[in-house]
Structure 1
Amino acid sequence: MERKEALLQQLSIENQKAQYHVTNLMESFQAMNSTLELDEVLKKIMHFALKIVETAEAGYIQMYDEHSNKLIIKTYVGFNENISFLKINIGESITGKVFKDGCVRLITTSEKIYNSMSDLSKENLNILNKAHPNSQTIKSILAVPVSFGTKRIGVMTFHCFDIEDGLSETDLLLLQSFASQAAIALHNAQLHTEVQKSLDEVTHLSQRLKETNALLEKRTEIHNHLTKLSVQNKGLKAIIIEMNKLMERNFIYADYLEGNYVPQPIKHFTERIDDIFFFFTNKIEPAYVSICDTIHIDCYIYPIRSGSVFLGCLIVEGSAPLSQLDKLIIEQGAPILSLEIMKLRSQTEIMYKKTYETYQQFLKVKNPQQAEIAAKELGIDNHYFLQTALIELDGNVDLRSLENDALLLLTHLKEKITLENSLLFSYNNKITFFSSARDTVSEAYITKIIENSIKWWNERFTVVARAGISTGHYYPGQAEENHVKAEKALLHLKNQKKKGVLHYRDIGISILFLNHSPEEIHSFLRETFSRLWTNQEKKDELLHTLFTYIQNNRSMTSTAKELHIHTNTLYHRIKKIEDILDMDFSHYEDYLKVQLAVYLYKTFFGSLTEPGNLM
């Protein structure tokens, strides 16, 4: 119980830290949007950014200048005035690449930082060196793009001169959320500046400018109103309901992971939501969509994302174009909804991380009495049978997207599996299922659910799902052994580049070769069959004969029948093969070697029907 209380206390501290960061973000959002003066907005952004990224010692904001096609320093902290002369080409050095590809850069060693800056022009390098206080070495750097919708408008960059690893993934996540709001503030300020300039230059457009100003004020008013709800922790549903009150047409939010709807589902949409999700998973821009099936459905879809992670969709039913006000409300509300969803996701990830850590500690307990206590703290009673399943998703280089996919598959499993006396959680791109059952019937039932779920996933998604399962009698203190077996089953699938499900007991003799690389196995095959590995037709025939002979357990009758040759012909072929390989198949070690080689080829490299592929 003490460990459980400590775990709960630690989780509470983590939640408090997360709430502290969220509060800082909300305060900064309100402050940034309190003015439309561009210079003031830039100063406020830099001030609050350094408050959020507490370990950063210096930073600057670069804005894209269309006239020069360069990134220009607009505000800075922690540098001297020389930094204002820095002008970076698109694609040049770290910040130029961030602006070009829209991907964040978090580099935590000096060596990697200066390697990444190797294409920086000599002039810019001199400026940067002069701008650094006391010519300090950069030991950590974090640069994030500032984008409004799909348009990149600048880059925010922060330096740490104190220690390597001074800037962290947490700083990156917080700054990404901050940058999306900063982009809105900058965009609003830029629009305001343009409006003021146009007002001075073109008097005959005064009425239009007044309308634009009114729209800007409305945008700010809406943004501040929705931000206030978030600061007050009203929650996702309250913000969506409030947005619906402000809009001329109602919408719903469809959650990608949970599969639920806020505030309530629209009739007929639930049947086609998977198609909508599939279409918008990799899209950024909203679109009007028509779904033609038994029922014709028209709707406006606005994807909600957090960086590369797809969270869900805002759906407005109907084909009529949205009013300017409705588009404005959705545009201003989407980043706030994204932040609310990520707050909930963060709490879930913290919980799963703690579960993962507790489970790993439980696996290390070998004392039977202590193991029983540790199991009960996980909510599991010890029974006679144990089952461990490890599910891994593979095929996406973006770890955050893989984590999102893992949570989606986890939600699907939760709908199918009764979680009594078991653990089911995800961590990174893996899902762990652990249970203690009274009988083998329960084990078989769970195994079938996992198999069906993996099949369901692999039929719908390009990211591959595979699972290793281990079951058996359980004695307290032996959970780690079962877990390791599940890991080995998963590793065997990965080595064979297969998807699906494999039970440890079905690995067979291949368990002896799990820790051997494909190169080592191929080397053994080459050593055994090298004299038959040739494009010469005659030796290809001998190789095929050998494989068929071994596959038929040295039965001359069965082998001859399968090859459609006389047994005397087969006898002469086998004798010729023995001579070429310098082996005697009646000798135990020679036959075992060639039998093992055939088995390894069949298991790790392909079908026995095409032995010529060994080359």
Structure 2
Amino acid sequence: MEKKEAFLQQLSKENQKAQYHVMNLMESFRAINSTLELDEVLKKIMHFALNIVETAEAGYIQMYDESLNKLIIKTYVGFNENISHFKVNIGESITGKVFEDGCFRLITTRKEIYDSMSDLSKENFDFIDKAHHNNQKIKSILSVPVSFGAKRIGVMTFHCFDIEDGLSETDLLLLQSFASQAAIALHNAQLYTEVHKSLDEVTHLSQRLKETNALLEKRTYIHNHLTELSVQKKGLKAIIIEMNKLMDRNLVYADYLEGNYVPQHIKHFAKSLDDIFFLFTSKTKPAYVSICDTVQIDCYIYPIRSGSVLLGCLAVEGSSPLSQLDKLIIEQGAPILSLEIMKLRSQTEIMYKKTYETYHHFLKIKNPQQAEITAKELGIHHHYFLQTALIELDGNVDLHSLENDALLLLKHLKEKITLENSLLFSYNNKITLFSSARDAVSEAYITKIIESSIKWWNERFSVVARAGISTGHYYPGQAEENHLKAEKALLHLKKQKKKGILHYRDIGISRLFLQHPPEEINSFLRETFSLLWTGQEKKDDLLHTLFTYVQNNRSMTSTAKELHIHANTLYHRIKKIEDILDMDFSHFEDYLKVQLAVYLYKTFFGSLTKAGKLM
């Protein structure tokens, strides 16, 4: 009787426990399906799963990440943050195999658990090991797949640290029932998240489309409005003023050649304008610059160009980023401004071309009366002294850039030279100055201005400036002779690859050879020095000795001292050179030939190195 009562009590307890589990499952099913927010669903699944598997002390849910092809921790309980770094490959360790084959794993001994984790990467093992509070060791583990239909979406895993056999077959059965409902809840939450994400993307794209359409409408309006001002010939200033009205911030245009500002200058900006132009002659993209002088000014600089030619810069004061509208106004206005500036440049170029043609027509006039009339038309009145200066810019840039540089140097010269009784213009990459002065003092003054201006240019720019100058008494009808002398002085500088200025009178004997091609001069040098010009070290020393001897005007003492040899050694070297060249330096023609060859080489080709090699 007692046995029967005990059996009935045990049966009642098991029925109560089963009923509790059923109620618990039903409550968990209702709870996890009560929301569609994925994070909230995951938290609820983890909470109710731990209620179902009562002996579990910690657990986590991994979901499959298709982009990484790994199982990623999505929620956890009973671990520290190290668990969040636990990312398992498919087929790796216990949970990776559960996901791969879809079969649960219930392992109830510590040894078997860690043996099953032997293929876990060291990194993952460290993460899972450090994730346990107080470095507890796993004594029981239960891991079940989470599948929606035939598609596996993740794995639920629970740890027991207290005792082996802490997790049972009953826990497995209950968890498997729960997992199927959890999969449905997760699938619905994922769908909900994806739909919301798609909806957000569509809403975002719709908003972007509205903003883009509004921006395109503004762009079209700005372009048409500024173009209309250009078509109506309102001019550069009107366009910049209108851009200022449209913009949120003040805009200033600084002209590269003229150095002026439209509509007004920025305080403290003028002192640094040359440096800004120098920076943007090669820089094609806009940039923020900081100007530091007595005060600091931050500006957004947008270069205005025509091809490779810098025309000027748009400057917006301030370091904060430009609004989208301001950028749009500048980008739409820049090409229209460029067109307006090029219109003005074209007018200037036409004027200078006409001046160039008139000037060269004047040079050809030999009749004194006619020459004087034409000179007056050019603004030149007859005085006793005539000055012609030809300035050329030379560099590894295209012709349009050189023309632009010539206009900039011309502007600088105009600020220094009074145009009274002078003609100053540029054409292509050359600047011509033609003036008539009352005395030599006035001539010297202008020469000094040209010299300082060219020095100023060469110190700042990579493009080389050089000038040939000719002065003299002027008689109407003889201007061409003076012009040709200036051309010869400029040619001499170019052949020597020198910059700066050179007066025709300072050329000396070299004027006799200016029209000789370099090949002819080189041929003469080789004929003269061919027996020494061999590249052999001994003969190189002899050639160096000969050059030093000639440059010291045949002074044995000075030559020996410069060569650091004894006078007797020098004497024997000179005799040897005479024998090799079959010359006698005491004969006038022989020595003159050698002297002339040394002079030509030094003037047109370079100099000797200490080793005696021709450079």
Mapped pair 1:464 → 2:473: no
Q: How far is 1:557 from its partner?
A: 3.1
- 1:571 match: secondary structure: helix
Q: 1:86-165 residue pairs with structure 2 within 5 A? A: none
- Residues of 1 paired with 2:610 and 2:514: CA distance? 24
Q: In the alignment, what sits opposite 1:555?
A: 555
Q: In the alignment, what sits opposite 1:77?
A: none
Mapped pair 1:382 → 2:382: yes
Which segment drifts farther, 551-560 or 507-516?
551-560
Q: How far is 1:541 from its partner?
A: 2.5
Structure-1-length-normalised TM-score:
0.65
Q: In the alignment, what sits opposite 2:141?
A: none
- 2:462 match: secondary structure: coil
Q: How far is 1:248 from its partner?
A: 0.9
Mapped pair 1:324 → 2:324: yes
- Residues of 2 paired with 1:420 and 1:204: CA distance? 69
Q: In the alignment, what sits opposite 2:491?
A: 491
Deviations, residues 150-180 of structure 1 (Å, cap 9, x unaligned):
xxxxxxxxxxxxxxxxxxxxxxxxxxxxxxx
Q: In the alignment, what sits opposite 1:94?
A: none
- Residues of 2 paired with 1:282 and 1:556: CA distance? 54
AA of the residue aligned to 2:355: T
Q: In the alignment, what sits opposite 2:22?
A: none
Q: 1:317-466 residue pairs with structure 2 within 5 A? A: 317-466=317-466
Q: In the alignment, what sits opposite 2:300?
A: 300
Q: In the alignment, what sits opposite 1:309?
A: 309
Structure-2-length-normalised TM-score:
0.65
Rg (Cα) greater in structure: 2
Give the number of the structure with larger relative contact order, counting CA–CA contacts within 8 Å between residues 6 or more apart.
Answer: 1
- Residues of 2 paired with 1:559 and 1:569: CA distance? 11
Contact 2:540 2:613 in 1 (8 A): no
Contact 1:543 1:611 in 2 (8 A): no
Q: How far is 1:559 from its partner?
A: 2.5
- Residues of 2 paired with 1:226 and 1:535: CA distance? 69
- Residues of 2 paired with 1:382 and 1:352: CA distance? 23
Q: 1:237-316 residue pairs with structure 2 within 5 A? A: 237-316=237-316
Deviations, residues 23-80 of structure 1 (Å, cap 9, x unaligned):
xxxxxxxxxxxxxxxxxxxxxxxxxxxxxxxxxxxxxxxxxxxxxxxxxxxxxxxxxx
Q: How far is 1:611 from its partner?
A: 7.5
- 1:468 match: secondary structure: strand
- Residues of 1 paired with 2:272 and 2:338: CA distance? 23
AA of the residue aligned to 1:379: G
- Residues of 1 paired with 2:211 and 2:536: CA distance? 83
- 1:553 match: secondary structure: coil
Contact 2:544 2:613 in 1 (8 A): no
AA of the residue aligned to 2:523: S
Q: How far is 1:324 from its partner?
A: 1.5
Q: 1:192-203 residue pairs with structure 2 within 5 A? A: none
Q: How far is 1:610 from its partner?
A: 4.3
Q: In the alignment, what sits opposite 1:229?
A: 229
Contact 1:386 1:437 in 2 (8 A): yes
Q: In the alignment, what sits opposite 2:107?
A: none
Q: How far is 1:296 from its partner?
A: 2.2
> Structure 1's 489 and 204: CA in aligned 2 closer, same or farther, altered over 3 A?
closer
Q: In the alignment, what sits opposite 2:545?
A: 545
> Structure 1's 569 and 208: CA in aligned 2 closer, same or farther, altered over 3 A?
closer
Contact 1:533 1:612 in 2 (8 A): no
Q: In the alignment, what sits opposite 2:524?
A: 524
Q: How far is 1:608 from its partner?
A: 4.8
- Residues of 1 paired with 2:306 and 2:557: CA distance? 66
AA of the residue aligned to 2:390: L
- 2:254 match: secondary structure: strand
Contact 1:386 1:471 in 2 (8 A): yes
- 2:288 match: secondary structure: strand
Deviations, residues 516-550 of structure 1 (Å, cap 9, x unaligned):
22222122111111111234333233222211221
> Structure 1's 570 and 211: CA in aligned 2 closer, same or farther, altered over 3 A?
closer
- Residues of 1 paired with 2:279 and 2:544: CA distance? 47
- Residues of 2 paired with 1:484 and 1:298: CA distance? 50
Contact 1:256 1:312 in 2 (8 A): yes
Q: How far is 1:432 from its partner?
A: 0.5
- Residues of 2 paired with 1:512 and 1:610: CA distance? 30
Structural RMSD (CA): 1.8
Contact 1:490 1:502 in 2 (8 A): yes
- 1:606 match: secondary structure: coil
Q: In the alignment, what sits opposite 2:614?
A: 614
Q: How far is 1:322 from its partner?
A: 1.1
Deviations, residues 238-265 of structure 1 (Å, cap 9, x unaligned):
1111111111100100111111111111
- Residues of 2 paired with 1:361 and 1:243: CA distance? 46
Q: In the alignment, what sits opposite 2:598?
A: 598
Contact 1:396 1:402 in 2 (8 A): no
> Structure 1's 419 and 590: CA in aligned 2 closer, same or farther, altered over 3 A?
same
Q: Which runs of 5+ in 2 are unaligned?
A: 1-200
- 1:584 match: secondary structure: coil
- Residues of 2 paired with 1:611 and 1:489: CA distance? 33
Q: How far is 1:203 from its partner?
A: 7.9
- 1:375 match: secondary structure: helix
Contact 1:386 1:472 in 2 (8 A): yes
- Residues of 1 paired with 2:226 and 2:414: CA distance? 33
- Residues of 2 paired with 1:253 and 1:554: CA distance? 65
Contact 2:542 2:612 in 1 (8 A): no
Identity fraction in percent: 88
Q: How far is 1:462 from its partner?
A: 1.0
Q: How far is 1:396 from its partner?
A: 3.1
- Residues of 2 paired with 1:212 and 1:340: CA distance? 29
Which segment drifts farther, 279-288 or 588-597?
279-288
> Structure 1's 204 and 394: CA in aligned 2 closer, same or farther, altered over 3 A?
closer
- Residues of 2 paired with 1:418 and 1:293: CA distance? 32
> Structure 1's 494 and 204: CA in aligned 2 closer, same or farther, altered over 3 A?
closer
- Residues of 2 paired with 1:457 and 1:329: CA distance? 35
- Residues of 1 paired with 2:342 and 2:291: CA distance? 30
Q: In the alignment, what sits opposite 1:580?
A: 580
- 1:446 match: secondary structure: helix
Contact 2:608 2:614 in 1 (8 A): no
Q: How far is 1:609 from its partner?
A: 5.6
- Residues of 2 paired with 1:213 and 1:284: CA distance? 29
Contact 1:384 1:437 in 2 (8 A): yes
- Residues of 1 paired with 2:308 and 2:564: CA distance? 58
Q: How far is 1:326 from its partner?
A: 1.2
- Residues of 2 paired with 1:509 and 1:585: CA distance? 21
Q: How far is 1:294 from its partner?
A: 4.5
Contact 2:384 2:473 in 1 (8 A): yes
Which segment drifts farther, 442-451 or 321-330?
321-330
- Residues of 1 paired with 2:546 and 2:597: CA distance? 11
Count of residues in correspondence between the two structures: 415
- Residues of 2 paired with 1:348 and 1:285: CA distance? 27
- Residues of 1 paired with 2:559 and 2:314: CA distance? 64
Deviations, residues 387-443 of structure 1 (Å, cap 9, x unaligned):
001111111341111111111111111111111100110001111000011101111
AA of the residue aligned to 2:544: H
Contact 2:393 2:463 in 1 (8 A): yes
Q: How far is 1:220 from its partner?
A: 1.3
- Residues of 2 paired with 1:469 and 1:387: CA distance? 7
Q: In the alignment, what sits opposite 1:111?
A: none
AA of the residue aligned to 1:337: L
